[in-house]
């Protein structure tokens, strides 16, 4: 089934926050933010604008009726600067005006006075100064100290990974208006309940007075898991104070400046080999957290969960800590720490492979995880498919490897390279509590259905998948089913649409609700047809008895149920079984299952210019018993391209004052049609059932991102064919860095 949104997307009918027809008297707002990264706010001088004809209100901390606090995991983030300034772009005041143009004009004329202090940008300097958020965490298995004494080769090194700007198509924004009893907020969020809670706290009123509604959002990628909340809070605050509908939509410049990004990391590692086996691995991750925690503690945790990626390593010690710097608080981004973690281990493998003169893929293949192996966090690997994906991929790429070798034999200045990238990604929120979802299902008198869940449609196709699951359950035509907006008054306590688990959690909750209605309807059908309940079923919109079609149609059945006063609505609730994690010992069974896959990336590097072309990506991906391979393909293609962009293109450059220099799309390069691999060939692992997934499938949202890591090593391998240098393991490997690296600079 094709994505149910595709027609409305390409015809421009899909509604985003900024497309909502405005209510009469709607006010417009912009945010005045800090131009310095570190210091103390002294005065907000509004003299020049106080008499502006369109000014409605300038809102500062003193206007907040509830708490000036939006920290989720740790209460360390003010909504508006009170005194302490800790990053460039930190919100100081909200300007509410009669028109958007006037709001911008007023912002220009407000003068901020402050004392400036030297900012800290580098996480290791922050660490040296003791600027740590939360507690360091360590995951451990075996005994690394002892194990290193038994290794025949030990290599250590350091690795830097850059951040990444989300560049969702729709920028952050919200539209808030007063209702009879409270406020309604239409928010571009992945997490309606986080918004509801945040607004309730800032306004100092109960959650039931706050209604949050989302039709869909124009991309999220993690950037709207936590960070849609401040903008929704500001719009709600402005609406509360002015008693008007208030719109707050960031322009792209403000969005890039103010919002957090993927966390950059610095890591130091030591890897010990016995032959081709990785015997010991120690690593410390320094997370560049930015000015406050946001989701950093959870991301730090996932970096530890994926320390060993697809490999079994018997002796591991991995430590991670959050370093507080004067950057916008960094946040969730597809993969949630796992990509950074996997890149470090791949760098270690790449470096040690050179030293022991084997190909990296020989080490990769020799250490792939199998059933019964223990992850450093205590979970025992079951139903492992990583070698299966590797083995299905190999014959698909042999001819490409030959092509690379032939090409390099006959070319001096242009070189090809390739790399393999296996991925193993844990499915479930690492915070066990979040693995829950609710759904509300209505059957109307005409036999059509409305489905409400906590899932946010952000382009990933979750609505299509849920619709498909319902159609399957009732054997109904898809056009009888409508997926409603996500609204906190219909489905409460929603977990963020995140962690690749959204369609699974919400889809399963929906199925459970459907089961309740189905059993009532089948009970009635057995009465009407005078047959045993076990023999009645629904198929092609008719009641069947012993698989034979009766004259009782779906419509008749629903109509009869209504007349008999049978409940045609149901609520369903799902919580993932069996998962737990004990943080006091850092052991448990945090993931319902793992998604696996292996990619092969082939590139061509122009060694005179330092530029490259992505020749092909070949992937074998495990989607369980995939039930919508079109949507899976979309996720895999998008993920791998986004991952390649992170590794090879997207460079966040800050100056020493903490100002982002690559602050627009002219300087911050994201994948475009010229960058995208010339060929992307995806095969699914031969299907098998995954009972913990929706209809036997597996979660697919984040895992493919990490295939992009292969691009980094493919480029390095091509470069080494021209000139082997001891270039640092520093991502992104932009054309500039390639050029310098090729000549040992
Ligand atoms: N968000 C979250 C996530 O809150 N917890 C997670 O474990 C997670 N994992 C991936 C992406 N987002
Ligand atoms: Mo996410 S990084 O699944 O919001």
Beta bridge partners of 574: 437
Strand, helix or coil at 301?
helix
Contact 204, 66 (CB under 8 A): yes
CA dist., res. 507 & res. 509, Å (int): 5
The mean pLDDT of 442-464, rounded to a whole number, is: 98
By most ligand atoms within 8 Å of CB, the mutation choice from 227, 332, 495 for ligand 1 is: 332
Q: Which atom of ligand 1 is nearest to the CA of 222?
A: 12
Phi-psi region of 259 (alpha: psi -120 to 50; beta: other; left: phi over 0): beta
**Smallest CA separation from ligand 1 atom 3, residue:** 499
The answer, yes or no, to whether any atom of ligand 1 lies below 6 A from the CB of 336, is yes
The mean pLDDT of 521-550, rounded to a whole number, is: 97
The answer, yes or no, to whether any atom of ligand 1 lies below 6 A from the CB of 298, is yes
Percent of the chain with pLDDT over 70: 100
Phi-psi region of 571 (alpha: psi -120 to 50; beta: other; left: phi over 0): beta
CA dist., res. 618 & res. 616, Å (int): 6
Identify which ligand lies nearest to the alpha carbon of 338.
1
CA distances from 386 to 136, 167, 705 (A): 31, 31, 16
CA of 299 to the centre of ligand 1 (A): 7
Q: Which atom of ligand 2 is nearest to the CA of 334?
A: 2
CA dist., res. 285 & res. 481, Å (int): 47
Tens digit of each residue's pLDDT (9 = 90 or more) over 469-479: 999 999 999 99
User: What one-character-per-residue DSSP string does 634-656 give?
Assistant: HHHHHHHHHHHHHHHT----B-T
To which residue do tokens 């036997």 refer?
Answer: 696
Beta bridge partners of 29: 96, 248
CA of 410 to the centre of ligand 1 (A): 47
Q: In what order do the strands lie in the sheet with 27-33?
A: 55-59, 91-97, 27-33, 246-249, 173-178, 183-187, 210-214, 486-487
The mean pLDDT of 310-337, rounded to a whole number, is: 98
The mean pLDDT of 378-401, rounded to a whole number, is: 98
Q: Which residue has the higher pLDDT, 699 or 725?
A: 699
Indicate if the pLDDT at residue 382 is higher than 90.
yes
Tokens of 364: 């990769």
Identify which ligand lies nearest to the alpha carbon of 500.
2
The answer, yes or no, to whether any atom of ligand 2 lies below 6 A from the CB of 294, is no
Tell me, what's the pLDDT at 2?
Answer: 87
The answer, yes or no, to whether any atom of ligand 1 lies below 6 A from the CB of 333, is no
The answer, yes or no, to whether any atom of ligand 2 lies below 6 A from the CB of 225, is yes
**Smallest CA separation from ligand 2 atom 4, residue:** 222
**H/E run at residue 386:** helix 386-410
The answer, yes or no, to whether any atom of ligand 2 lies below 6 A from the CB of 499, is yes
Strand, helix or coil at 539?
strand
Tell me, what's the pLDDT at 562?
Answer: 98
Percent of the chain with pLDDT over 90: 98
**Smallest CA separation from ligand 1 atom 6, residue:** 429
DSSP 484: P
Q: Identify the band that residue 627 occupies on the pLDDT scale cut at 50, 70 and 90.
A: confident
Return the exposure string of 435-444: e unless at least 16 CB atoms fall within 10 Å of the residue's CB, then b.
bbbbbbbbbe
Identify which ligand lies nearest to the alpha carbon of 263.
2
Tens digit of each residue's pLDDT (9 = 90 or more) over 580-610: 999 999 999 999 999 999 999 999 999 999 9
The answer, yes or no, to whether any atom of ligand 1 lies below 6 A from the CB of 505, is no
Indicate if the pLDDT at residue 687 is higher than 80.
no
C-alpha 156, offset from chain centre: 31
Nearest to 578 by CA among 568, 565, 600, 593: 593
CA dist., res. 13 & res. 452, Å (int): 21
The mean pLDDT of 507-513, rounded to a whole number, is: 98
Query: How does strand 132-141 pair with strand 315-324?
Result: antiparallel
The number of C-alpha atoms within 13 Å of 311 and in the hemisphere containing its C-beta is 26
Q: Which atom of ligand 2 is nearest to the CA of 496?
A: 4
Tens digit of each residue's pLDDT (9 = 90 or more) over 417-431: 999 999 999 999 999
With a CB cutoff of 8 Å and minimum separation 6, the contacts of 63 are: 57, 237, 241
Tell me, what's the pLDDT at 745?
Answer: 85
By most ligand atoms within 8 Å of CB, the mutation choice from 306, 498, 700 for ligand 1 is: 498
CA dist., res. 470 & res. 538, Å (int): 13
Tell me, what's the pLDDT at 122?
Answer: 96
The mean pLDDT of 564-572, rounded to a whole number, is: 98
CA dist., res. 463 & res. 631, Å (int): 11
Tokens of 516: 């309740």
CA of 374 to the centre of ligand 1 (A): 22
The active-site residue, picked from 78, 282, 586, 702, is 702
**H/E run at residue 265:** strand 265-274
Q: Identify the band that residue 325 occupies on the pLDDT scale cut at 50, 70 and 90.
A: very high
CA dist., res. 476 & res. 541, Å (int): 6
Length in residues, the chain? 745
**Smallest CA separation from ligand 1 atom 8, residue:** 499
Angle at 643 between CA 594 and CA 374, to 5 degrees: 25
The mean pLDDT of 385-395, rounded to a whole number, is: 98
The mean pLDDT of 561-573, rounded to a whole number, is: 98
Tokens of 236: 């709600």
DSSP 692: T
Strand, helix or coil at 28?
strand
By most ligand atoms within 8 Å of CB, the mutation choice from 165, 225, 639 for ligand 2 is: 225
CA dist., res. 133 & res. 373, Å (int): 33
Q: Which atom of ligand 2 is nearest to the CA of 500?
A: 3
Say if residue 732 is preceded by a cis peptide, omega within 30 of 0.
Answer: yes
CA of 322 to the centre of ligand 1 (A): 17
User: Catalytic site residue 702?
Assistant: yes
Q: Which residue has the higher pLDDT, 1 or 203?
A: 203
Mean pLDDT, all residues of the chain: 97
């Amino acid at each position: 089934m094709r994505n149910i949104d595709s027609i409305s997307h390409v015809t421009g009918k899909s509604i985003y926050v900024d497309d909502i027809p405005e209510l009469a008297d709607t006010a417009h707002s912009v945010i005045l933010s800090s131009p310095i990264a570190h210091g103390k706010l002294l005065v907000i001088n509004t003299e020049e604008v106080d008499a502006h004809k369109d000014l409605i209100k300038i809102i500062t901390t003193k206007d907040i009726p509830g708490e000036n606090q939006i920290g989720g995991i740790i209460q360390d983030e003010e909504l508006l600067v009170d005194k302490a300034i800790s990053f460039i772009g930190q919100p100081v005041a909200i300007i509410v005006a009669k028109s958007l143009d006037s709001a911008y004009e007023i912002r220009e004329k407000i003068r901020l006075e402050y004392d400036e202090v030297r900012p800290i940008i580098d996480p290791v300097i922050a660490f040296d100064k003791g600027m740590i958020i939360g507690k360091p965490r360590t995951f451990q298995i075996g005994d690394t100290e002892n194990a290193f004494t038994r290794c025949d080769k030990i290599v250590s090194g350091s690795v830097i990974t850059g951040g990444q700007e989300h560049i969702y198509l729709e920028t952050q924004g919200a539209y808030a208006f007063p209702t009879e009893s409270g406020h309604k907020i239409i928010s571009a969020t992945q997490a309606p309940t986080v918004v509801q809670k945040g607004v309730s706290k800032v306004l100092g009123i109960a959650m039931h007075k706050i209604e949050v509604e989302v039709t869909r959002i124009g991309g999220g990628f993690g950037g709207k898991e936590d960070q849609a909340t401040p903008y929704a809070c500001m719009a709600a605050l402005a609406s509360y104070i002015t008693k008007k509908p208030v719109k707050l939509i960031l322009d792209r410049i403000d969005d890039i400046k103010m919002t957090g990004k993927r966390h950059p990391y610095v890591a130091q590692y030591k890897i010990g080999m016995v032959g081709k086996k990785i015997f010991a691995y120690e690593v410390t991750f320094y997370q560049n957290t930015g000015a406050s925690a946001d989701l950093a503690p959870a991301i730090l945790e996932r970096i530890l969960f994926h320390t060993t990626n697809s490999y079994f390593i018997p002796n591991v010690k991995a430590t991670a800590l959050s370093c507080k710097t004067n950057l916008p608080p960094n946040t969730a981004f597809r993969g949630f720490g796992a990509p950074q973690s996997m890149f470090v281990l791949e760098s270690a493998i790449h470096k040690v492979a050179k030293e022991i003169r084997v190909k990296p893929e020989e080490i990769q293949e020799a250490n792939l995880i199998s059933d019964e192996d223990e992850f450093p966090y205590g979970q025992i690997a079951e139903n492992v498919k990583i070698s299966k994906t590797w083995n299905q991929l190999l014959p698909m790429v042999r001819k490409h490897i030959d092509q690379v070798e032939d090409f390099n034999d006959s070319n001096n200045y242009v070189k090809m390279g390739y790399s393999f990238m296996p991925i193993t990604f844990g499915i479930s929120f690492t915070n066990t509590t979040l693995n829950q979802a609710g759904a509300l299902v209505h059957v109307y008198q005409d036999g059509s259905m409305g489905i409400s869940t906590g899932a946010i449609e952000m382009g990933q196709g979750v609505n299509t998948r849920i619709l498909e699951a319902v159609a399957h359950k009732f054997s109904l035509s898809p056009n009888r089913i409508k997926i409603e907006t996500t609204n906190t008054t219909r489905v409460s306590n929603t977990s963020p649409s995140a962690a690749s688990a959204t369609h699974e959690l919400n889809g399963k909750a929906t199925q459970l609700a459907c089961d309740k209605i189905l059993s009532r309807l089948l009970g009635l059908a057995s009465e009407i047809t005078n047959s045993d309940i076990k023999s009645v079923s629904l198929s092609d919109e008719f009641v069947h008895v012993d698989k034979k079609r009766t004259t009782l149609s779906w419509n008749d059945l629903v109509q009869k149920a209504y007349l008999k006063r049978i409940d045609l609505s149901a609520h369903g609730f799902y919580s993932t079984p069996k998962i737990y994690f004990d943080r006091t010992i850092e052991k448990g069974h945090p993931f319902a299952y793992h998604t696996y896959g292996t990619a092969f990336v082939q590139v061509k590097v122009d060694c005179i210019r330092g530029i490259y072309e992505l020749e092909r990506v070949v992937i074998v991906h495990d989607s369980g018993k995939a039930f919508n391979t079109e949507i899976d393909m979309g996720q895999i293609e998008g993920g791998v391209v986004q991952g390649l962009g992170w590794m090879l293109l997207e460079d966040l450059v800050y100056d020493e004052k903490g100002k982002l220099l690559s602050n627009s799309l002219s300087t911050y390069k994201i994948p475009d049609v010229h960058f995208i691999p010339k060929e992307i060939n995806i095969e699914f692992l031969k299907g098998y059932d995954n009972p913990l997934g929706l209809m036997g499938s597996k979660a697919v949202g984040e895992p493919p991102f990490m295939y992009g890591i292969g691009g980094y090593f493919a480029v390095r391998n091509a470069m080494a064919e021209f000139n082997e240098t001891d270039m640092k393991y520093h991502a992104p490997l932009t054309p500039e860095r390639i050029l310098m690296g090729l000549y040992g600079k």
